[in-house]
Structure 1
Amino acid sequence: MQTPQTAGVGLNHVKLEVKENHMAHHTVGLSGTHLVTRRGQPFKLLLHFNEPGFSHHYEALAFQVLLGDLAVEFPVTFLENMTNVGWRAWIYPHEVLPRCVSVPVRVCSPVSASVGLYELNLIVQNSLGQRCYSAGRFILLCNPWLKADPVYLPDEGQREEYVRNDAGVLYLGTPHNITTWHWAFGQYESEVLEACVNLLQVSPQHVWDRRRDYLRRSDPVYISRVSCAMINCGDDRSVLEGSWSADPQALGNGVDPADWTGSAKILKLWAATHFRPVCYGQCWVFASVMCTVMRALGIPCRVVTIFNSAHNTKGNLIMEEYYTDSGQKLDLSQSTVWNFHVWVECWMTRPDLGSEFDGWQVLDPTPQERRAGMFCCGPCSVKAVRMRNVNLLYDTPFIFASVNADVITVVVRDGRVVSRRVDRKRVGSHIYTKHIGSDRPQSLTCNYKCVLDNLSRYGEPGHDISQSLQVSLRLDRVPVMGEDIALTVTVRNTGHSLRIFREHVNAQAKVYNRGAQQTLWETHNRLHVQPGEVLLIEHVIPHGQYESKLTSDCLINLAAVVEDERTQEHMLVSEEFNISIPNISIQVTGGDTVVLHKEHSAEVSFTNIFSTAMNDTVLTVEGTSLIQGKHQSRLYLLQPGQVMKTKVTFIPVGLGVKVLHAKLTFRNLPALVIRGTHKVSVTPA
């Protein structure tokens, strides 16, 4: 920047007081490159002048802040102006002596300032003219600690969990057999914050109209909406591309979505490849990366799992599922009830909707269908969903249907409908997020709908009832890999005469987000049931019959159809469940509290619980901020009952809770992946 040649004081350099500012702004560790501040809160600079030093009698100071092409200039005063809603800077008189060489200055942005990377210039003016100096760059974030900020979160425990915590837990599987998945959000990893800021910079909104984009970045509704669209690969420079193929070979050189354990690697890979989409993600990966971006930018965020989530393509709140009269589930409907779906909630006010809709807002970054020209869903007020107010922005009808749709189960025979039943309790039966301060799931179901927890647990039968017949299906215990599955079908004849029934029971492998696959077991029986009699029919699915046929989700769709031979009445009961897989054992030598930058070791082991030998077994161990790259060991043949062990050394490079992840794969069962996790607490040396 060219300036006129003038005499008098000159600026030597500017000290950004990074350590002090980061402590005050709750931004310690977010960047090793930039000063990171929060809007509406002053940060301190130390101006070092050449001799003879600064004097307010001879020189006046002003700052200029630039966000792209937007520039604001404001004076440095000797009194803090609390009424000024714009940018301001001030010097406390008691901190400055006449002709002072070092001058401390406070700079404060308005609470409505836009999020982004700013340049800061200092203008020194005297009677002969002015000079302009570069004072450095800083990143400005939203401020959930400041009451006037739209993302203000009043509870410190919630701020700790939903803004500062960089380790989380996701919940997958089924609501009666939840699988926990540890995830490293990694907002404190090097270059992650810069990648999150760049996500806004390369968005279509910024490319189309930079000035408008910069101005609108003051609004967390806008920021979250742009970020949501940028997470998924709806645009060329988005972060993640999705893949829902059940065939591992279809992934090519991409990463299996189930292999990701944290967001930092994804965001850094995206930035390092000049913003090319990273392959591949599914719903929990999209949501977890979104959570990282939101927390990094200062917007409180949590990952939420919806069990039995309706993906309704018709928008009519009706999901249809079809079965044959022998209990086989058919893939005839475009709409699907996913066993689980994962999205995020962000905390913010909603002046565009009204204060009654402030609070948690749903954002779903998983690409499903375009809205307003982009793959983006939300922010949708959770309160609006609970109040059934589906006419509000954004995407409230879709979110409402996801947790409230009815499921119509239809039994067909020779192309004719022989039974129809409506289930109004199944969809959105359980909605969970991580509990503050622990790994336990916290139920959010009543935040979305005015119902109590109503899904039966194992041992409590699902049932179908007619005027003269009752049928129920019950799993006797939680199924475990390597063990037989025990189930009971109960038939009650409430009529006044002997009845003869045909019983058909069918078990099919299933993927969490689509219909049932191949039949892995079935049985058919003829039953005589006396009036008032209750008949319990026990069945066993041998473990050898299902192990090799499961998908990687280890899900089974189980259905029983009972048919009255005389009346042709059909009754269907069904259950979808996941099989528990024994974890890989991880034991850290010396305990789970480890020291920063010191070498530690862990023993990783797995016992083959299967009835057959496992070929070409590969054990992979990794951990964000613990292990550089991956540790792998291989065993050609793992016999039944044999134990595979390996020792892993690691050196923690980051403080806080970190997680070791282990994965075991087999050549003869490529769809089956055994996993294990272990948390350690890293303390200073």
Structure 2
Amino acid sequence: MGPMSLRAIKEGNVNLPYDGPFVFAEVNADRVDWFLGKDGAIERKQVVKNSVGMFISTKRAFGRATWREMQHGDPDREDVTNQYKFEEGSEEERAAIRQASKFSKRTDVYETTAEDVKLSVVSDPDTFMGNDIKLTVTLENTGQERRTCNGTLVLGSMYYTGVFHRELLSRKISAVELVPGQTKSMEYSVPATQYLDDLADHCLCNISCVCIVKETRQHCVIRDELRLRKPRLKIKAPNAAKVGDSFSVQVSFENPLPVTLTQCELRVEGPGIQKPVVYAQNNIDVKKMFLGTFKMTPVKVGAKEIVVYFNCRQISAITTSHPVTVA
């Protein structure tokens, strides 16, 4: 990106070369929802201040993960969020937004209107494939007058590019009345048997909810993503090996789906250990354990890494890795 000054992005000085507005929008923009009228005029309906740039990552150099990150986190991920922005919601971060908005052609983005109804949609980020998808829609009246809300909730599968794939759930939210200070929650569920055949690559789902307040015409918009978690592929292998000496590797996981896994295979890579190879595997019945074993023979000295991919017709690219020091 750029080249663009990292400090300028952090402070909202998007007028400096190069690509300032583009990079800033990627890491710290406020998301603005607009309503397009029949006459072509657009009206601002909502500003979401904390949906962009929450988890900025880069590839960590091999061998630089701490012991805790190896055991409890992602050893391949290095968080660089604080290099691009101040702490979310802090005065410094809001000041950077105000500074960046000075260079915008629109002057009506931050006009304030009566917005006394709050909408939230909560999903469980630890939902695994094979579990029911559960959503909770909550409406809260923070004002001093009665409010009536109508809207729609849609859950759909999507490709990793963000392109919508198939609709999994669509529900109307009709005439929800809220007295001052009242909160109402509605729960929705999609059984695994209804969504498994409609998932796209990477098991991503798009959540979209729009509610309109009858009395004030306030538009509440929630757009979020849910990535269904795949089974954890466990690996057992030695931490050290020698050139020319074969060793065994064992991988395993439990089939979480209510269907048999078919057309199963293991793809194994180990730069400096062996060339990529694919091993065909047997079908895995419902709730049964998969256990795969293979051998590897190192050919080069140094810090190496074994990477294993499990693929089948129902689930793709369950991955795991294991470091090996070759002497």
CA deviations on 1:457-484 (whole Å, 9 max, x unpaired) are: xxxxxxxx95432222222452222112
Relative to structure 1, the CA distance from residue 594 to residue 413 in structure 2 (aligned partners, 3 Å threshold; closer, same or farther) is: farther
CA deviations on 1:486-535 (whole Å, 9 max, x unpaired) are: 23221112345544433421112223333433322122233333332111
Distance in 1, matches of 2:253 and 2:45, equals 46
Q: Which residue does the alignment assign to 2:188?
A: 539
CA deviations on 1:156-177 (whole Å, 9 max, x unpaired) are: xxxxxxxxxxxxxxxxxxxxxx
Q: Does the 8 Å CA contact 1:597/1:651 hold for their aligned counterparts?
A: yes
Distance in 2, matches of 1:628 and 1:406, equals 46
Q: Which residue does the alignment assign to 1:665?
A: 311
Question: Alignment partner for residue 581 of structure 1, among 218, 225, 230?
Answer: 230
Distance in 1, matches of 2:250 and 2:266, equals 12
Q: Which residue does the alignment assign to 2:161?
A: 513
Q: How does 1:130-169 map to 2 (within 5 A)?
A: none
Relative to structure 1, the CA distance from residue 389 to residue 408 in structure 2 (aligned partners, 3 Å threshold; closer, same or farther) is: closer
Q: Which residue does the alignment assign to 1:432?
A: 57
Residue identity opposite 1:437 in structure 2: R
Relative to structure 1, the CA distance from residue 407 to residue 494 in structure 2 (aligned partners, 3 Å threshold; closer, same or farther) is: closer
Three-state SS of the structure 2 residue aligned to 1:386 is helix
Relative to structure 1, the CA distance from residue 408 to residue 603 in structure 2 (aligned partners, 3 Å threshold; closer, same or farther) is: same
Relative to structure 1, the CA distance from residue 640 to residue 411 in structure 2 (aligned partners, 3 Å threshold; closer, same or farther) is: farther
Relative to structure 1, the CA distance from residue 497 to residue 400 in structure 2 (aligned partners, 3 Å threshold; closer, same or farther) is: closer
Q: How many Å apart are 1:389 and its aligned residue?
A: 4.8
Name the TM-score, length of structure 2 as normaliser: 0.76
Q: Does the 8 Å CA contact 2:298/2:326 hold for their aligned counterparts?
A: no
CA deviations on 1:297-328 (whole Å, 9 max, x unpaired) are: xxxxxxxxxxxxxxxxxxxxxxxxxxxxxxxx
Q: Which residue does the alignment assign to 1:640?
A: 286
Question: Alignment partner for residue 421 of structure 1, among 46, 54, 76?
Answer: 46
Distance in 1, matches of 2:89 and 2:76, equals 20
Distance in 2, matches of 1:546 and 1:572, equals 24
Question: Alignment partner for residue 204 of structure 2, among 544, 547, 555?
Answer: 555
Three-state SS of the structure 1 residue aligned to 2:193 is helix
Relative to structure 1, the CA distance from residue 595 to residue 539 in structure 2 (aligned partners, 3 Å threshold; closer, same or farther) is: same
Q: Which residue does the alignment assign to 1:680?
A: 323
2:83 maps to 1:447: yes
Q: Does the 8 Å CA contact 1:386/1:447 hold for their aligned counterparts?
A: yes
Three-state SS of the structure 1 residue aligned to 2:317 is strand
Relative to structure 1, the CA distance from residue 673 to residue 414 in structure 2 (aligned partners, 3 Å threshold; closer, same or farther) is: farther
Q: Does the 8 Å CA contact 2:115/2:218 hold for their aligned counterparts?
A: no
Name the TM-score, length of structure 1 as normaliser: 0.39
Q: How does 1:24-423 map to 2 (within 5 A)?
A: 364=1, 378-390=2-14, 394-410=18-34, 420-423=45-48
Distance in 1, matches of 2:320 and 2:3, equals 33
Distance in 2, matches of 1:571 and 1:604, equals 46
Residue identity opposite 1:445 in structure 2: T
Q: Which residue does the alignment assign to 1:473?
A: 121
CA deviations on 1:603-647 (whole Å, 9 max, x unpaired) are: 223322111223322222222222233031133x43212333322
Three-state SS of the structure 1 residue aligned to 2:83 is helix
Q: Which residue does the alignment assign to 1:233?
A: none
Residue identity opposite 2:199 in structure 1: L
Q: How many Å apart are 1:411 and its aligned residue?
A: 5.2
Identity %: 25
Distance in 1, matches of 2:212 and 2:129, equals 32
Residue identity opposite 1:614 in structure 2: L
Q: Does the 8 Å CA contact 1:486/1:541 hold for their aligned counterparts?
A: yes
Residue identity opposite 2:81 in structure 1: T
Residue identity opposite 1:676 in structure 2: T
Residue identity opposite 2:56 in structure 1: I
Residue identity opposite 1:655 in structure 2: V
Distance in 2, matches of 1:555 and 1:380, equals 32
Residue identity opposite 1:452 in structure 2: E
Distance in 1, matches of 2:219 and 2:23, equals 34
Relative to structure 1, the CA distance from residue 414 to residue 603 in structure 2 (aligned partners, 3 Å threshold; closer, same or farther) is: farther
Distance in 1, matches of 2:12 and 2:144, equals 45
Residue identity opposite 1:540 in structure 2: S
CA deviations on 1:565-590 (whole Å, 9 max, x unpaired) are: 455543222222322111322212xx
Cα RMSD (Å)? 3.2
Q: Does the 8 Å CA contact 2:236/2:249 hold for their aligned counterparts?
A: yes
2:257 maps to 1:619: no
Q: Which residue does the alignment assign to 1:599?
A: 246
Q: Which residue does the alignment assign to 1:162?
A: none
Q: Does the 8 Å CA contact 1:476/1:488 hold for their aligned counterparts?
A: no
Three-state SS of the structure 2 residue aligned to 1:399 is helix
Q: Which residue does the alignment assign to 1:7?
A: none
Q: Which residue does the alignment assign to 1:117?
A: none
2:138 maps to 1:490: yes
Relative to structure 1, the CA distance from residue 559 to residue 395 in structure 2 (aligned partners, 3 Å threshold; closer, same or farther) is: closer
Distance in 2, matches of 1:467 and 1:500, equals 13
Relative to structure 1, the CA distance from residue 539 to residue 680 in structure 2 (aligned partners, 3 Å threshold; closer, same or farther) is: same
Q: Count residues with an aligned counterpart.
A: 292
Point out which structure has higher relative CO (alpha carbons under 8 A, 6+ apart): 2
Distance in 1, matches of 2:48 and 2:122, equals 17
Distance in 2, matches of 1:675 and 1:421, equals 38
Three-state SS of the structure 2 residue aligned to 1:639 is coil
Q: Does the 8 Å CA contact 1:419/1:570 hold for their aligned counterparts?
A: no
Distance in 1, matches of 2:84 and 2:296, equals 43
Q: Does the 8 Å CA contact 1:633/1:646 hold for their aligned counterparts?
A: no
Bigger Rg, structure 1 or 2? 1
CA deviations on 1:426-461 (whole Å, 9 max, x unpaired) are: 332332333782027443223223x20459xxxxxx
Three-state SS of the structure 2 residue aligned to 1:679 is strand
| Gaps in structure 1 of 5+ consecutive residues | 1-363, 365-377, 456-464
| Gaps in structure 2 of 5+ consecutive residues | 66-74, 91-112
